[in-house]
Structure 1
Amino acid sequence: MIETSGLSRREFGLQIGLDESKMSKSLSGARRFSSVDLARVADLCHVTVDWLITGEEQPLATAARTTSGNAGSALDAARRFSRLRRDMASLGYHQSWQSKALNLGRGGYVEQGRSLAQDALVRVAEAGHSIDGSNLIILVERVFGIDVAVVDLGAGFDGLAASSPDVKLIVLATTQVPARQRFTLAHELGHLLAGDDQDVHLDRDVFDRAQAKDPSEMRANAFASAFLMPEDRLRAAVGSTGLTEREFAELACDLVVTPSALAYRLFHLRLVDAGTCDRYKTLTGARAASMVGRGEDFARLVTEAGMPRPPGLLVRDTYAAYESGAATLRPYANLLGADVDELRRALESEHGIHDAL
């Protein structure tokens, strides 16, 4: 790797923090590379620590090289985040993925998705959270221990889920339709909880009817619908008197779902008739928010859905690794999109301010 880097042995050693003597001893076997040394080599050479140790390339890396367009960009991002996650695992900062088995239930794929959603909702409640009005990205990270990133991918691609022993990751596309991003996140969560595609699962369009015929997509869609719009929540809202149009709009805003998705869910649960479903599904999210005086909330959600975001758990772990001395500041800076030297100066300046106070 030193030869392909274009650096001399001495220059390579200095780049990873080793003087000429330590570098020579490490290469000869007289001194072992530490975990910090390996992390620095991996960072310098744009590979994973796992690759340095085993020489094996992860399936996600192969997929990223062989896929073009927006999906290729998503895979590139997933590859980068996955590499960092595996490196953090090698340093002792393992992902807090909750591997507790969830119930797929019996019956068809739709029934399995709904059963899986019921178990997932129980876990959400046990963790002290609620689906109503929640920041779903933060909820998924905290409750399920999954890294969630939002990346600018342009139009035509919704998201992906990547899974390996060390990595559970969801990558979402930025969008101006917050409810679509939320549904995509729930859809990808369904794939991960069901154990679909243990390497990587791509979703160019979660609402594509042709794709929805695939059994795993049917299950993921059923999961997302039941997870985001829990049956008991809807039955309580409808009650014995039904829903007025205003109450329907309020419910769509509370659950952060599109009015059309909510109308179909209510119809399938036989809580509204076909005529009411057809009438309510014509509402837009913006119109529903305006009807109930929540236009500002809707505008905020649109802004948030259009902003790139690194995986929150990975940001936490890369900083913890830096703070403990197990890794350099570079992985943390890369996630933030910051210049490492400027970030170091900013952190040191902050400490200086605290000392002065």
Structure 2
Amino acid sequence: MTGFEHGVPTDLPTEEQKSYRSHAEVLDMLGLPQTPEDEGLRSTPVTADEDSVVGARVREARSRARLSGSALGEKVGLARDQISKIENGRRRLNGVEAPAFARALGVTLGWLLGQDESPRMALAHRLSRGANGEEAAPDGLPATQTRALTVLEADRILSGIVPVPPARVSTAGRKLMTEAKAELPTHPHDRAHAQREGRELALKVRRELELGSDEIGDLPALIEANFGVDVVLSPMGTAVDGLCAHSGDQALIIASTDFTEEHVRFTLAHELGHHIAGDPRDLIAEDNAQMFSSDSIERRVNAFAAHLLMPVVGVKQVLADSGLTPDELAAGGFRAQRVLGRLMQRFNVSLAALLVQLEEMRELTHDDVNRLRGELQVTRVEPSMARRRLSRSIPPVGAPLTESACGVVRPPERLLNAALDAARDRRTGTRILAALLEREDDEALHNEVMAVADEAGAREAANPARPSRPRRRANRG
């Protein structure tokens, strides 16, 4: 029989005795009985529904944070079996434990205890914490998370001033996401499964969206039009390549544009793979090493990105039209470099990404790829001037990325349009617009916006059939 001393099982290991003692002290503080069966925290018929909701949310948040039951137990000072009982609704959280669980899981206490929370609020709370869900000072957050919080705050403010349309989900996009979440396992079984799942998902996206076998010209606009995602591009350094954050109906994909255009496009496609596949984590922030790690999930979304950007049919067509033999391609001579450059130009990808895809297609061996990556410095053949159009002006929005992609700022199109409407109708100043565009030249921005508004007003005055909007004094503060 187990012995007890002051309510502590004496035959437990020392560390478990410490955890149990701390728990017993909490029970004593709350005036609850201290028994071997932990009767005071057992779920009862009266509390069963509430305990079930809390337990389900603990399990959901733990899954999103990719924590095992033991790991969560270590964070909150409970054994794994206690975590299991809580998640299954057989054990209650007391008043001291609940805040500890919320902190450990990176969620609000209200959400954990079953209160409804807007997706925007839930996502903002998660983004305000570190990558591992721990509390973090604002100046200690990665630039991608800080930028995401700015966008969410702009969304919140604008929604109280003007009608802001929700992020769009097309019929095809909803079908793709629903099927992917139902069919794809959380973790692929191995590398082969990961590669196949990513490839098949990309083929489905191309087929459902009728993309054919050519380059996706405006990838940010395609994502926003189909998958309920706000896309944000901004120069945020090279410490983090990109971020995918999603909670309920709120989703953000962010990419740092302190990389080449091709790098940014691959990052966007990679993060889109996380979103479509229903990655249970609410925040995925990655640098280049994490994106290309041996993790099976990362392998799957990398395969997705490669096949989305470089469809096999299109690549094979260019190779066939070139008349290049497999040996010539592997040798990497002048003709091979011309063909590689043409492929990079057609699909707007980097040499590194193209070589990986050629290996996946078995056009090159792994050794060929490693050798060519070190030997070749292939650039595009006759780069398109159309890619140089994107600037910091208002608009264009959703235009192709610039040739270098360095310094490009692109806020979500729906928010930019709402901010422009609010400013031109003189319902707000230009501060929200400036925050979205990351512009500090407030006077010039104000003049640009008002010039467009005045032109629109003149057109309305010349056409009485069209009702004019009421004009208010501009608030530039």
TM, length-normalised to structure 2:
0.53
Q: Percent identity?
A: 26
The answer to whether the aligner puts 1:60 opposite 2:141 as a matched pair is no
Distance 1:105 1:81, change over 3 A: same
Corresponding residue for residue 255 of structure 1: 347
Corresponding residue for residue 222 of structure 1: 303
> Structure 1 residue 165: deviation in Å?
2.0
Q: Which amino acid aligns with 1:113?
A: G
Moved more, 214-223 or 275-284: 275-284
Structure 1 stretches lacking a partner, 5+ long: 1-50
Corresponding residue for residue 248 of structure 2: 165
Which of the numbers 166, 179, 190 marks the counterpart of 1:94?
Answer: 166
> Structure 1 residue 264: deviation in Å?
2.4
Corresponding residue for residue 122 of structure 1: 207
Which of the numbers 279, 286, 295 marks the counterpart of 1:203?
Answer: 286
Task: Say if 1:85 and 1:166, in contact at 8 Å, map to a contact too.
Answer: no
Which of the numbers 404, 408, 414 marks the counterpart of 1:307?
Answer: 408
The answer to whether the aligner puts 1:137 opposite 2:207 as a matched pair is no
The answer to whether the aligner puts 1:351 opposite 2:451 as a matched pair is no
Corresponding residue for residue 234 of structure 1: 315
Corresponding residue for residue 149 of structure 2: 79
Q: Distance in 2 between matches of 1:329 and 1:102?
A: 43
Q: Distance in 2 between matches of 1:250 and 1:232?
A: 15
Task: Say if 2:195 and 2:299, in contact at 8 Å, map to a contact too.
Answer: yes
Task: Say if 1:70 and 1:154, in contact at 8 Å, map to a contact too.
Answer: no
The answer to whether the aligner puts 1:109 opposite 2:194 as a matched pair is yes
Corresponding residue for residue 379 of structure 2: 288
Distance 1:120 1:189, change over 3 A: same
Distance 1:235 1:102, change over 3 A: farther
Moved more, 95-104 or 143-152: 95-104
Distance 1:132 1:200, change over 3 A: same
> Structure 1 residue 271: deviation in Å?
1.8
> Structure 1 residue 342: deviation in Å?
5.1
Distance 1:72 1:132, change over 3 A: same
Moved more, 152-161 or 62-71: 62-71
C-alpha distance after superposition, 1:246-304 (max 9, x if no partner): 1222011211111222122212321234565455434667x322xx3338678773344
Distance 1:353 1:70, change over 3 A: farther
> Structure 1 residue 139: deviation in Å?
2.4
Moved more, 66-75 or 219-228: 66-75
Task: Say if 1:258 and 1:284, in contact at 8 Å, map to a contact too.
Answer: no
Q: Distance in 1 between matches of 2:385 and 2:448?
A: 34
Q: Which amino acid aligns with 1:346?
A: A
Task: Say if 1:121 and 1:227, in contact at 8 Å, map to a contact too.
Answer: yes
Higher relative contact order (Cα pairs below 8 Å, separated by 6+ residues): 1
Q: Which amino acid aligns with 1:94?
A: P
Q: Which amino acid aligns with 1:150?
A: L
The answer to whether the aligner puts 1:187 opposite 2:262 as a matched pair is no
Task: Say if 1:157 and 1:204, in contact at 8 Å, map to a contact too.
Answer: yes
SS at match of 1:302: coil
Distance 1:164 1:349, change over 3 A: same
Structure 2 stretches lacking a partner, 5+ long: 1-110, 130-134, 330-334, 390-401, 463-477
Which of the numbers 242, 258, 269 marks the counterpart of 1:175?
Answer: 258
Q: Distance in 1 between matches of 2:384 and 2:453?
A: 41
Q: Which amino acid aligns with 2:382?
A: G
Distance 1:193 1:342, change over 3 A: same
> Structure 1 residue 137: deviation in Å?
1.8
Distance 1:334 1:352, change over 3 A: same
Task: Say if 2:234 and 2:257, in contact at 8 Å, map to a contact too.
Answer: yes
Distance 1:166 1:333, change over 3 A: farther
Structure number, greater radius of gyration: 2
Task: Say if 2:164 and 2:418, in contact at 8 Å, map to a contact too.
Answer: no
Q: Which amino acid aligns with 1:163?
A: H
Moved more, 136-145 or 159-168: 136-145
Distance 1:89 1:297, change over 3 A: closer
RMSD (Å), alpha carbons: 3.8
